[in-house]
Structure 1
């Protein structure tokens, strides 16, 4: 059935209703337009900000890609690995150690690996950190005592740092494998790769030191890599059982220090022979007197040593120096006078043509030495024959140290000899008990003919107010005379004096005035070591 069309009146009413709704919607849209326009503007602004941030991030990424920066790192993280490695060297030398039974071993490299990942990588990659081995066995560490109440082992000892008695508890189940693993030494040797090893063995007492033999034989197995060996011992025969392991294998050894303890009265003949097979050995340091029959058995490579420090009788000196006369550059001798030594007839002359530095605690028996190239002479103790040595050697000294010398008469007279005309550095001790010598040498310095090339003068600090004021003035006058020489004759540029409080205020002000004029005037408190640290 077909639908009938609506009446016209109804259609008009429907159209009017539709128009009314459209007008209402249009008005609503017009009211919303300002808000929508504002929202669009805000969105556009936010989009621009985001685009700017993206562009800045892209710029930073590009900069980081092209030229990496470290500004976000902590200062310690900016230190290059090479510098960190040099810093870590001091930590190893100064030594963090861990006690293992009655002996101690260095643990500094291992501690450094636990700081952070970066330090661990640097430490593991620096072979020199792992190439230093120091094994020390003390003879004064008490043994552990078992405590039945706690089941622990107690060790009580005096700690000089805290000035207290300290008790150390140890679980009986804790062995070396947990406090210092036996394979730690092997691991350290692997980390040292193929670097030269520095070995220091200080055996005061063998005692009950656990795993010590294992450690020593492990190091002996690497003796072909030893470059420096410091050996201090006062132990029974067991310590020498490693000698067959190192004999003939010291191909890299360059420095040797031997220090037998006073209670040590035995060593096998092999011990005195093994160092003759070290083709690169250049320095030997015997720091304490050896027993009487050691010099006769000591064997060293000939014409090879450059630096020698000896402490012993004359026959030890005469057994070593002539064999090295063409290579020696630096020699320190501390002679020990004994009945056996006094019966030794020194040769007519022992010439050391390349020796440049000589240090003597006394010159008994040294009148046979001829030193044509001697430049530095340090004297201590009782000196008698030194002027004769200089006359015979026809050398030209540049440095003379009399700071610990007991006898001065011949030395002062030799200051006018041709052998001291080139002397540029002089160090003397004008102690309160040496007033006559002080006046003698100060009068000599008031002449331009004495030591005409003197550049550095060191007057040591063992003076005090027992010196009269006239001696203080003589010291100043001698220095002022040297400073006021004509420019073409003036050579003095540096002086070292005792602390200011030994001088009167007037003399101190005079020295300050010389300092203002350009003379380098410094205080003995600024240094504590030998003459080579201030010239």
Structure 2
């Protein structure tokens, strides 16, 4: 009997219900070794047919029906064996599918990366973005010369980023060397001379922040400061904590710092100041306009081009402040901290006219009486019990200014 006729006789569909109308029982037989799709068993048997009756009652089959029923049983057994085999191999199949999926995901990421806007950002915009990734000097212990820090890190992302980074001198201008922190004490090689030389080659102008320490080996510090001093003609900023061994190197910089605009000096210990009578290497710095000198232990004179200063920050005797400020016609901002005096001021001191001064910090407030500031806009005072209102009122009347 034709298989299609036989299926209809027993109430089974002539097409596979699971595989779809496009496929036939003959196609299923290639998979299940039978002419009947096992997916159809028990699901698509037509009610009222002979096979439906046999499935749902205890009625015995005719002799002529046994062959078909046995063939169905054989097909089901083959299907069960196939499913058992698939279940047994499920972990391996899952692994294979997961690997295939991971490969496709990787390909999708690589393909989508081609469309990334980052690839189309102009170099000048990349440079601006890179500049905002530079570490802040406020977290001094975290700003170290190492390959994991910006800008070195930027050179490791892609060839294009590397080209942009190395061709942007401003990213390399900030140099921070601090030997005072504990991680340097544990590992003095943190600051690699070879990395420093590479950074110096990439930079154009240099902003040097160098803090020495007597607490660790001085030789690496001296070698590093000497290396930086070889490029002093490109210094725009110098912030330095001096040790006694660094002073002779500093003194060789006279006439070698034409670009220096900002200067900050402090001392590591009181012993470092011993034997130092003055520092005169900055007197010929033709671009210097912003100076800060912190004399915590003892006043050491620093000769400066005071006539060109616009910002001034110093701890010293009042007489020294007045001597310097009398020669600063361009001063806009001043921090005047009186130090090393038991009694501040003298009736013999003259009043200083600071005609262009706009911002003033002064300590103690009592020395306000020695200054006249007609252009003053901002005032900060350190108060030690003085009659602050009368001091300020007197300053305003004398200067004819309005804060």
Which TM-score applies when normalising by structure 2? 0.62
The answer on 1:329 being equivalent to 2:332 is yes
The answer on 1:395 being equivalent to 2:397 is no
Q: Which runs of 5+ in 1 are unaligned?
A: 1-69, 145-154, 156-174, 398-535
Deviation at 1:214, TM superposition (A): 2.4
Deviation sequence 1:420-473 (CA, Å, 0-9, x none): xxxxxxxxxxxxxxxxxxxxxxxxxxxxxxxxxxxxxxxxxxxxxxxxxxxxxx
Residues in 2 aligned to 1:367 and 1:90: alpha-carbon distance in whole angstroms: 44
Asked which structure has the greater CA Rg, the reply is: 2
CA pair 377-285 structure 1, distance change in 2 beyond 3 A: same
The residue number in structure 2 matching 1:191 is 202
Residues in 1 aligned to 2:275 and 2:132: alpha-carbon distance in whole angstroms: 36
Deviation at 1:279, TM superposition (A): 1.2
Residues in 2 aligned to 1:362 and 1:244: alpha-carbon distance in whole angstroms: 33
Residues in 1 aligned to 2:117 and 2:183: alpha-carbon distance in whole angstroms: 42
* 1:464-503 superposed matches below 5 A: none
Tell me the secondary structure at the aligned position of residue 218 of structure 1: helix
Residues in 1 aligned to 2:171 and 2:322: alpha-carbon distance in whole angstroms: 39
Tell me the secondary structure at the aligned position of residue 283 of structure 2: helix
Deviation at 1:129, TM superposition (A): 1.2
C-alpha contact (below 8 Å) 2:145/2:196 kept by paired residues: no
Residues in 2 aligned to 1:346 and 1:265: alpha-carbon distance in whole angstroms: 34
The residue number in structure 1 matching 2:222 is 213
The answer on 1:115 being equivalent to 2:185 is no
CA pair 337-223 structure 1, distance change in 2 beyond 3 A: closer
The residue number in structure 2 matching 1:364 is 366
C-alpha contact (below 8 Å) 2:308/2:330 kept by paired residues: yes
CA pair 185-143 structure 1, distance change in 2 beyond 3 A: closer
The residue number in structure 1 matching 2:262 is 255
C-alpha contact (below 8 Å) 1:346/1:365 kept by paired residues: no
* 1:74-89 superposed matches below 5 A: 74-89=116-131
The answer on 1:224 being equivalent to 2:227 is no
CA pair 117-142 structure 1, distance change in 2 beyond 3 A: closer
CA pair 274-140 structure 1, distance change in 2 beyond 3 A: same
Residues in 2 aligned to 1:314 and 1:135: alpha-carbon distance in whole angstroms: 33
Deviation sequence 1:457-511 (CA, Å, 0-9, x none): xxxxxxxxxxxxxxxxxxxxxxxxxxxxxxxxxxxxxxxxxxxxxxxxxxxxxxx
Deviation at 1:119, TM superposition (A): 1.1
* 1:31-50 superposed matches below 5 A: none
The answer on 1:317 being equivalent to 2:321 is yes
The residue number in structure 1 matching 2:168 is 126
C-alpha contact (below 8 Å) 2:360/2:378 kept by paired residues: yes
The count of corresponding residues between Structure 1 and Structure 2 is: 285
Deviation at 1:345, TM superposition (A): 5.1
Which of residues 272, 284, 300 in structure 1 aligns to 2:291? 284
Residues in 2 aligned to 1:207 and 1:71: alpha-carbon distance in whole angstroms: 49
Deviation sequence 1:359-398 (CA, Å, 0-9, x none): 224322231211122222233424352221111111232x
Residues in 1 aligned to 2:201 and 2:305: alpha-carbon distance in whole angstroms: 31
Residues in 2 aligned to 1:389 and 1:98: alpha-carbon distance in whole angstroms: 39
Deviation at 1:337, TM superposition (A): 6.8
Aligned alpha-carbon RMSD (Å): 3.3
Tell me the secondary structure at the aligned position of residue 276 of structure 1: coil
C-alpha contact (below 8 Å) 1:225/1:250 kept by paired residues: yes
The residue number in structure 1 matching 2:145 is 105
Deviation at 1:132, TM superposition (A): 1.5
The answer on 1:303 being equivalent to 2:307 is yes
Residues in 2 aligned to 1:376 and 1:276: alpha-carbon distance in whole angstroms: 29
The answer on 1:373 being equivalent to 2:375 is yes
C-alpha contact (below 8 Å) 2:318/2:345 kept by paired residues: no
**Structure having the larger proportion of residues in strand:** 1
Deviation sequence 1:86-112 (CA, Å, 0-9, x none): 2322433337x999xxx9535422222
Tell me the secondary structure at the aligned position of residue 309 of structure 1: strand
CA pair 106-323 structure 1, distance change in 2 beyond 3 A: farther
Deviation at 1:307, TM superposition (A): 1.1
Residues in 2 aligned to 1:106 and 1:319: alpha-carbon distance in whole angstroms: 44
